[in-house]
Amino acid sequence: MISKHSVSYIIYGLVFLAFFIVPGLFRLLTDWYWFEEIGFSNIFTTILGAKIFLGLVVGLFSFFIIYGNLLLARRFVQSKPLVVRLPASMNFQQGEREGAQGGITQIQELNVGSYIDKLILPISLILGFLTGLVGAGSWETVLKYFNATPFNIKDPIFGRDIAFYFFDLPFIQFLIGIGFWIIAVSLIGVAVIYVLRGAIILRQPAPGYGALKSLFIEKTAKVHLSIFAVFLFVLTAVQIYFIKIPSLLYSTTGPFTGASFTDIHATLPFLKILIFVAIAAALLTVINIFRPNNRFIVLAVGIYIAVSILGGLVYPTILQRFLVLPNELVKETPYIKHNIEATQKAFALDKVTERNLTGEATLTMADINNNRSTIKNVRLWDRGPLLDTFGQLQEIRTYYDFVSIDNDRYQLNGDYRQVLLSPRELDSEALPQRTFINERLTFTHGFGLTLSPVNEVTPEGLPVLFLKDLPPSSSIESLAVTRPEIYYGELASDWVVVNTKTKEFNYPSGEKNVFINYEGKGGVKVESIFRKVLFAIRFKSVKILLSNDITQDSRIMYYRNIEERVRRVLPFLRLDQDPYMVVTEEGELKWIYDAYTTSDRYPYAELVKDTFSFSPGRNINYIRNSVKVVIDAYDGKMTFYIADINDPVIKTYAKIFKDSFLPIEEMSSDLKAHIRYPEDLFAYQTKLYTVYHMDEVQIFYNKEDQWQVPIIASGTQADPMMRHMIMKLPGEEREEFILMIPFTPRGKDNLSAWMVARNDGEFYGQLVVYRFPKQKLVFGPKQITNRINQDADISRQISLWDQRGSRVIRGNLLVIPIEESLIYVQPIYLQAEGGKIPELKRVIVAYENRIAMEETLGLALERIFGGRVIVDEKTTPISAAQPFTDDDLIRQIREHFDRAMQAQRRGDWGLYGEEIKKLGELLESIK
Q: What is the pLDDT of residues 841-881, one digit of tens each?
A: 899 999 988 899 998 999 999 888 887 887 654 333 322 32
Separation of alpha carbons 924 and 927, rounded Å: 6
Query: Which of the two residues, 273 and 800, has the higher pLDDT score?
Result: 273
The Cα-based distances of 311 to 238, 263, 265, 281 in angstroms read 18, 11, 11, 17
Length of the chain: 927
Contact 250, 212 (CB under 8 A): no
Contact 742, 754 (CB under 8 A): yes
Does a cis peptide bond (omega within 30 degrees of 0) precede residue 471? yes
Q: What is the pLDDT of residue 93?
A: 46
Q: Report, as an integer, the average pLDDT of 879-897.
A: 55
Q: What is the pLDDT of residue 23?
A: 73
The string of pLDDT tens digits covering residues 484-524 is 999 999 998 789 999 999 999 999 987 889 999 999 999 99
* Structure confidence at residue 92 as a pLDDT band (50, 70, 90): very low
Contact 141, 165 (CB under 8 A): no
User: How many Cα atoms occupy the beta-carbon half-sphere of 83 within 13 Å?
Assistant: 6
- CA torsion, ordered 344, 350, 351, 354, to nearest 10 deg: 110
DSSP string covering 528-564: SHHHHHHHHHHTT-HHHHH-SS--TT-EEE---BHHH
Kindly provide the b/e burial profile for residues 766-796, where b requires at least 16 CB atoms within 10 angstroms of the residue's own CB.
bbbbbbbeeeeebbbbbbbbebbeebeebee
The string of pLDDT tens digits covering residues 161-182 is 999 999 999 999 999 999 999 9
Contact 649, 629 (CB under 8 A): no
Q: What are phi and psi of 397, to 5 degrees?
A: -125, 155
Separation of alpha carbons 144 and 652, rounded Å: 6
Q: What is the pLDDT of residue 878?
A: 28
Q: To 5 degrees, how large is the angle CA 787–CA 789–CA 791?
A: 70
Q: To 5 degrees, how large is the angle CA 509–CA 514–CA 518?
A: 145
Separation of alpha carbons 296 and 305, rounded Å: 14
Q: Report, as an integer, the average pLDDT of 340-354.
A: 95
Kindly provide the b/e burial profile for residues 714-726, where b requires at least 16 CB atoms within 10 angstroms of the residue's own CB.
beeeebbbbbbbb
- CA torsion, ordered 489, 491, 494, 496, to nearest 10 deg: -50
Q: What is the pLDDT of residue 807?
A: 85
First to last CA, the chain: 121
Contact 497, 550 (CB under 8 A): yes
Is pLDDT of 599 > 60? yes
Separation of alpha carbons 596 and 450, rounded Å: 29
Q: What is the pLDDT of residue 612?
A: 59
Q: Report, as an integer, the average pLDDT of 70-75.
A: 88
Q: To 5 degrees, how large is the angle CA 515–CA 517–CA 521?
A: 145
Q: How many CB atoms lie within 10 A of CB 385?
A: 21
User: How many Cα atoms occupy the beta-carbon half-sphere of 814 within 13 Å?
Assistant: 28
Q: What are phi and psi of 404, to 5 degrees?
A: -155, 165
Q: Considering only 286-300, 535-549, 584-598, 656-670, which range has the smallest mean pLDDT?
A: 286-300
Own/partner pairs for 605-608, CB < 8 Å, 24+ apart?
A: 605/257, 605/258, 605/339, 605/342, 605/343, 605/345, 605/346, 605/347, 606/256, 606/257, 606/339, 606/343, 606/346, 606/688, 606/692, 607/250, 607/252, 607/257, 608/684, 608/687, 608/688
Separation of alpha carbons 486 and 520, rounded Å: 12
Largest CA distance in the chain: 132
* Residue percentage of the chain with pLDDT more than 70: 88
Query: Which of the two residues, 688 and 719, has the higher pLDDT score?
Result: 688
* Structure confidence at residue 280 as a pLDDT band (50, 70, 90): very high
3-state secondary structure of 793: helix
Q: Which of 354, 361, 352 is nearest to 770 (CA)?
A: 354
Q: How many CB atoms lie within 10 A of CB 174?
A: 19
Q: Report, as an integer, the average pLDDT of 71-77.
A: 84
Q: Name the most confidently modeled range: 402-416, 591-605, 614-628, 866-880.
A: 591-605
What letter would DSSP give residue 104?
A: B
Contact 749, 838 (CB under 8 A): no
Strand partners, 121: none
Q: What is the pLDDT of residue 116?
A: 72
Q: Considering only 95-109, 300-314, 479-493, which range has the smallest mean pLDDT?
A: 95-109
> Which residues, in sequence order, are CB contacts of 199 under 8 Å at separation 6+?
76, 77, 79, 193, 217, 218, 220, 221
> Which residues, in sequence order, are CB contacts of 62 under 8 Å at separation 6+?
127, 128, 131, 132, 178, 181, 182
Q: Report, as an integer, the average pLDDT of 324-352.
A: 94
Contact 367, 818 (CB under 8 A): yes
Q: What is the pLDDT of residue 879?
A: 28
What letter would DSSP give residue 873?
A: T
Separation of alpha carbons 591 and 490, rounded Å: 10
Separation of alpha carbons 673 and 576, rounded Å: 19
Q: Report, as an integer, the average pLDDT of 701-706.
A: 92
Is pLDDT of 366 > 50? yes
Q: Report, as an integer, the average pLDDT of 89-107.
A: 47
Is pLDDT of 419 > 50? yes
Q: What is the pLDDT of residue 206?
A: 55
Contact 662, 683 (CB under 8 A): no
Q: What are phi and psi of 55, to 5 degrees?
A: -60, -45
pTM across the whole model: 0.86
Q: Which of 784, 773, 754 is nearest to 864 (CA)?
A: 784
Is pLDDT of 789 > 80? yes
List alpha helices for 293-398, DSSP H: 295-309, 315-319, 328-346, 365-370, 372-376, 383-394
Q: Report, as an integer, the average pLDDT of 781-787.
A: 91
Query: Which of the two residues, 53 and 732, has the higher pLDDT score?
Result: 53
Separation of alpha carbons 892 and 918, rounded Å: 10
The string of pLDDT tens digits covering residues 6-26 is 555 566 555 555 556 777 788
> Which residues, in sequence order, are CB contacts of 365 under 8 Å at separation 6+?
861, 862, 865, 866, 867, 868, 869, 877, 878, 879, 880
Give the chain's mean pLDDT.
86
Query: Which of the two residues, 254 and 29, has the higher pLDDT score?
Result: 29
Q: Which of 505, 501, 503 is nearest to 526 (CA)?
A: 501
- The letter for the amino acid at 113 is G
